[in-house]
Each structure stands twice: as C-alpha cells, then as structure tokens.
Amino acid sequence: MIDLIQKYVEAYGPSAYEDAIRAMIIADAKQYTADVTTDALGNVIARVAGKKGGQRVMLIAHMDEIGVMVSHIDANGFCRLMRIGGVNPQTLIGNRVQFTNGVMGVIGVDNPGKRSLPSYDDLFIDVGASSKADCPVGLGDVAGFVRPFLQLNENRLVAKSMDDRIGCVVLLETLKALKNPANEVIFVWSVQEEVGTRGAGPAAYHTEPDIVIAVDVTATSDTPKGFKMDVDLGKGPAIKVRDGGMLADPRLVRLMRDQAVAASLPYQMEILPFGTTDARATQVTRGGIPSGCLSIPCRYIHTPSEMVDLRDVQNGVKLLTKVVSEAATLK
C-alpha cells in the first residue's frame, strides 16, 4: 500500500486539472472491475454488482488537490497568483510549484523582511523569466505544489496531498478487497471538491445511490494547542457526526459504529467545527440521499506536509469493506 500511496500523493491534479491522477485511478480500478467509466465532469465511476435485494452504496473520495492560478504577469516575468481551494498564504513562501505544462516555479514574497503574515497580494511565482515576453506560463495557468512523499517511521506518512489522495487509496483498496458484497457498490473518485464539492452532486444524481459514504481527511487534536476535538493520529478512522457543512445521517453513523464494534476495529467519533466533504453535496442531491463520512485523521491539512498514520488507513479499509459487504440496513 505504501507504494500506491506515494504514487497518488505525488501525482499532479489541482481542481479541474485532474487528468494525470484520473488516468492512474482508471488504470488501477480496471484491475478489479471491468465497469469503469467517467462522466461529463471527469468523475471516475466504478461499479461492483451485489446480491439481489441489497442497497446501492456509493463510496466517494475526491481526487483533486489545492493549487494556485496565475492572475497577472508583470514586466519582469513575475506571476501574481490566486488560490484554488483553501490555500493559506502563510504556508506558501518558498514553496515550489509545477504548472500543467511542466514548468516549475518558486513562490516568493514582497518585502521579505516584513514580520506580518503575508496576504495573496504579497506573493508571486518566480519561474526564472526575466521579462513578460519570455515567461513560459500565461494568465489562467494552474500550478500544483511539489513535495516528495516522506515516511517518518513505520506508520507516519507525510505528503502534500493526503487530502484526499489517501481517501482515493482507501477506495481502491476497498475495491480490491470486495468479494461478492451484499450491496451494489459504486466507487466514485470525484473532481473539484476543493472548490465547492462540485463533482459529487452530479455523480450522485447520475448513479442514484441509496446511501453515500464519503472518505476524506479530518483535523486532529493531538498537537500542542490543537483543535478542541477528540481525534488523534493512530487511534482509528473517524466516523463523522458533523462538520461545518453537514450533519451526517444518524442511521449511517450508527451503522458504521456498530460494524466497527462487531469487527473489533478501532474508531473515533468526529465532530468538526469547520470544513466539509463531498457528503455535503450528495446529501441534498435529487430527493435527498442518506450521507455520512469516514475520515482519516490528518495533521497539518492544506499545508505542504499533511500527515496521516498508516494504521488509520488500513483500519479504514477494513471498516469500509465490512460496511459495504454486509447488509447496509439503516435503522
């Protein structure tokens, strides 16, 4: 699984520019099911037939990552930028970025000796140009961040896009593990989650699931002066109760919790005061779809060094596989 994680987290794929990571997912998913398609927005949809009378369960994780876009190029070839998704400007100074055409650049800041935190107006991308005429990128060009995958020890993994490539890995490993499930299972690797959960709603509208479980990352409370919540690295995947965009369906929360207990799998309960996932969009699609989320605890979300624990990932796969393999009755 480590090799797969490294391949996915190092792949290029800012929102709306997911071509490279999408191609990887399609190739990998076709190893385990022949029914793999894409829709008009670029969501990847894979299906596994279930037993007659079972539910239609959608598992969804987003393949896009945060990034930046060129908004202006000055006479000396320096590129001003806008964010794609929730990019905090204080994490950007000195970052390296790669554009869709392969051009690399470094993010610099005006008045580097200034002590106050930068805003986007203070930042620029240096692509090595000496004038606007020889700048190898143009207005509207998109860049993703460049950072190698890092394994700190046996379990602690660090990368620039655990959000949500780790969820993409959980889905693929669950697809690999499925054997004659009780439910029809629809796997969706969605686009443009970071800019407003835009791919999830159309995917759910098209496939008409009975139940949706998103797989995404969540914040943790285990760092000095961390968030006031009860989620730590290494203590199991987190079953979402609420976040800043939705209340998870209580029946689905109970189902996941009961299955974790039955399988003696570690789990945590997630109450997140901010942020949201693709489940927010699927919950209000068509006539409404019972939706919830299984979260992988992650430190330093939306920074160049997002950290997860391999055991949480592995137990997330086990729990998700159990939930969709057995009768998914909501009560």
Residues classed as catalytic:
193
Q: Write the DSSP assignment of 85-137 as a string of letters.
A: SS--GGGTTT-EEEETTS-EEEEEESSTT--SPP-GGGEEEE-S-SSSTT-SS
Cβ atoms within 10 A of the Cβ of 12, count? Answer: 21
Structure tokens that stand for 189 in this block:
């690797």
Helix (H) or strand (E) holding 52: none
> How far apart (Å, rounded) are the C-alpha atoms in residues 169 and 28?
10
Please give the torsion angle defined by the CA atoms of residues 49, 23, 317 and 230, in that order, rounded to the nearest 10 degrees: -130
Distance (Å, whole) CA 237 – CA 217: 9
